């Protein structure tokens, strides 16, 4: 075997170094940067600026604190709607991140039904943002003792592999140092998915589907967490069961309002 002369070896090393340097310089010149803060990205806004922008947009359109519904005309102050003034819900206050449409809807559907678990962190950050926005104006809402996710029936939990409501609450629980007590509320009856039913049939469909553990709830303020709030029938039934088991107060956090 012929030996490669040292001079050729050095030349090849220098050439490779120059090629690599040029490639790196080109990559640096072509790299994407966030137009808002200048951070290197794969194109467009970085995650922090995207979240900040979404929070600002959500803050400019405040939902009803009783039912979480967004008014036809955007409002910057959270005011009870006429329906909630006439017939209050069984909880204290609702915090909602945004409308169930556009990117938020796409993300939630992908997260729940196509195993896009990589979207979980962003969705958890949205849940934290919704909570903090509501907590800033409501000390009672901010003073919750435990987090209770809306439970899935055991068969649906087995088929999906995770309870999205529990997962979406994890970052909030860590930041606020609150326990997630999924054992405080159980779904004991399998029901037809609410999305498949007309509005008037949903309350009857969900009645008697949950039981609560009074030992974990007595005298405690509960934050009830769900991913999507539509008519609120499921959340109303959960809240009534929690209060009947001795919860001092129930508030609701939903990521999206349909």
CA distances from 177 to 105, 147, 204, 210, 231 (A): 28, 10, 36, 26, 30
CA 56 to chain centre: 16
- Structural domain spans, the chain: 48-66+79-257
Find out whether 151 and 187 touch, Cβ atoms under 8 Å: yes
What CATH number has the domain spanning 48-66+79-257? 3.40.50
Which tens digits make up the pLDDT trace of 7-57? Answer: 444 544 554 445 444 444 444 444 566 655 767 766 566 777 666 655 555
- DSSP secondary structure letters along 111-147: HHHS--GGGHHHHHHHHHHHHHHHHTT-HHHHT--EE
Residue with the larger pLDDT of the pair 40 and 222: 222
67 pLDDT above the threshold of 80: yes
With a cut of 70, say whether residue 227 has pLDDT above it: yes
Over residues 136-150, the pLDDT tens digits come to 999 999 999 999 999
pLDDT in tens, 99-134: 999 999 999 999 999 989 999 999 999 999 999 999
**pLDDT at position 74:** 75
């Amino acid at each position: 075997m012929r030996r490669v002369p040292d001079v050729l070896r050095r030349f090849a090393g220098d050439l490779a170094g120059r090629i690599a340097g040029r490639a790196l310089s080109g990559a640096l010149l072509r790299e994407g940067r966030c137009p808002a803060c200048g951070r290197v990205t794969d194109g467009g806004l970085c995650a922090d600026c995207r979240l900040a922008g979404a929070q600002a947009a959500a803050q400019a359109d405040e939902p009803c604190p009783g039912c979480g519904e967004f008014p036809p005309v955007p409002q910057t102050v959270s005011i009870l709607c006429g329906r909630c003034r006439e017939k209050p819900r069984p909880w204290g206050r609702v915090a909602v991140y945004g409308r169930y449409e556009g990117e938020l809807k796409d993300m939630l559907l992908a997260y729940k039904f196509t195993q896009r678990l990589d979207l979980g962190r962003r969705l958890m950050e949205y849940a934290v943002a919704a909570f903090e926005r509501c907590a800033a104006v409501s000390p009672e809402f901010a003073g919750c003792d435990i987090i209770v996710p809306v439970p899935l029936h055991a068969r649906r939990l087995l088929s999906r592999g995770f309870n999205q409501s529990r997962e979406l609450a994890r970052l909030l629980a860590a930041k606020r140092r609150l326990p997630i007590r999924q054992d405080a509320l159980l779904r004991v009856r399998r029901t037809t998915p609410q999305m498949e039913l007309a509005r008037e049939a949903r309350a009857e469909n969900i009645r008697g589907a949950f039981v609560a553990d009074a030992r974990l709830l007595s005298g405690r303020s509960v934050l009830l967490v769900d991913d999507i709030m539509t008519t609120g029938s499921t959340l109303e039934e959960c809240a009534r069961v929690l209060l009947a088991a001795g919860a001092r107060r129930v508030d609701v956090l939903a990521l999206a309002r349909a």
